[in-house]
Homo-oligomer: A and B are copies of this chain.
Amino acid sequence: MSADQRVEGCGGSNGASTALPPLTPRTIGGKPSEAPGDEYQDVAPPPYSMESAIGLSVPLYQPHAPAPGTVIDPDMVEDHVSFLRTVRAFHDYKRQALAAREMRCTNFRKLQDQHRDLLCIDLDRILEKYLECIDVNGAFFDAICEASEELFDSYWPEGTTVLMKEVPPPTPLDMNKVFSTLRQFVRDWSAEGVAERDCVYKPILDTLDHCFPNRGERENVRVLIPGAGLCRLSVELALRGFFAQANEFSYHMLIAGHYIQNHVFESYQHKIYPYSDSTCNLVNRADQFAEVQIPDLCASEAIDALRDKGLSFGQLSMVAGDFTEVYAKPHQHKTWSVVATCFFIDTAHNIIEYLVIIYNLLVPGGYWVNVGPLLYHFADSADDMSIELSLGEVLTVAQRIGFVLNGPPSFIDTTYTNNQRSMKQLVYRCAFFVLQRPLVDKQTGQTGGSVEAEGT
């Protein structure tokens, strides 16, 4: 399957329904869930060497088989396996979380009587609450798994030759990402996430408000958001009237993002316990069981509210796949008014390639807005290409490509999927900068020529 074949679901001002139309992304070659990724998240993995005695038998769906004679590309089979392994990882949350809880119970039971007397906490009550949290989170993930079936069908309508029983068990990294997905929901879709979102999304939204003050014209302002995660930023852009396209590579994010956007119909429909699996750095025990309600904004409700004000929703679409595969194509050149990258550029194997692609995507006069650190995802992987530039070097390369920098970058201190109650706070000093592709390219002297050398 080539990148050009992807299906983009668009909706909003031209749609009749008040509910957000389903986003129908489609994967493009590669192995999304095998990338190290998710480096920003700092969730301690539960133990993996422990066998859980708890048997869970919720059935997983079996995707439909291809019609006789249908040829399934072997690369696509690999995608199917990755997708289904991610579903299995979400499904395995409960087993894994219960095993971690059981390990902690066992340790408490090992305490000698005198120590247990000194502890004088109601251990049974704590362990019961812990169990309740896992149950609630588990049910939430089961709903996500169920909704993923239609996503699989939309990606691969011809079905698959992969049998669910052939799907390998999730890796520790797969499971780690499941636990951190709970915190991603907090970041993107809860009131508790406002502080983090204000730090990084607001500067981007303010920049675009400033550059494109006329709301009526925004439907033609095409904004691309690579590494869109759970898509709050792209939804916010569409709510402000822009043509927003989200791009994401991780099946964890695609599957979870599909659920929150297409299967949640009112604000605060779900409660989750995003910190229940972490027992370190608690000030109070209650912090472990902090309840977070999601979403704080339901897109379909927000669209209704817009309509009541006589305003229209912009356009919103989602493209699944590797940024360098999807957006390096010549037909994408000079088709985007803005590329907005938030905690994205350090996902590159070769950041120079990213910069060239972004430049070529922009129309002459278009903007690249960036917020994020430089925690290169592949820096420590011996098996992966990785080019780690300093911020100064990134900006130098950008200018050499042709970007114009208006003033030095500023720095924004912010956490990422952080538990604000914790005694451990991972703070990123994010670089915020706005670069512009000039109306006339310096190098070619032409109006909007393309820079060569997009491939690694």
Contact = CB atoms under 8 A, between A and B. Distances in A.
Interface in A277-303: 279-285, 287-288
A380 interface: yes
Given A118-B352, A423-B429, A379 B283 contact: no
A346 B285 CA distance: 16
Nearest to A381: B47
A376 B429 contact: no
Interface residues of A, number: 74
Nearest to A384: B107
Given A111-B387, A393-B119, A423-B391, A375 B47 contact: no
Interface in A37-64: 44-50
Contacts of A211: none
Given A119-B397, A283-B392, A396-B121, A380 B46 contact: yes
Copies of this chain, whole number: 2
B453 A390 contact: no
B284 A391 contact: yes
Contact of A111 (B107, B352, B393): B352
Given A111-B387, A428-B424, A382 B103 contact: yes
A426 interface: yes
A285 B374 CA distance: 12
A424 B39 CA distance: 12
A375 B424 contact: yes
Contacts of A428: 423-425
A328 to B, nearest CB: 13
Interface of A: 44-50, 103-104, 107-108, 110-115, 118-121, 279-285, 287-288, 346, 350, 352-353, 355-356, 373-376, 379-383, 385-393, 396-397, 400-401, 411, 413, 422-431, 452-453, 455-456
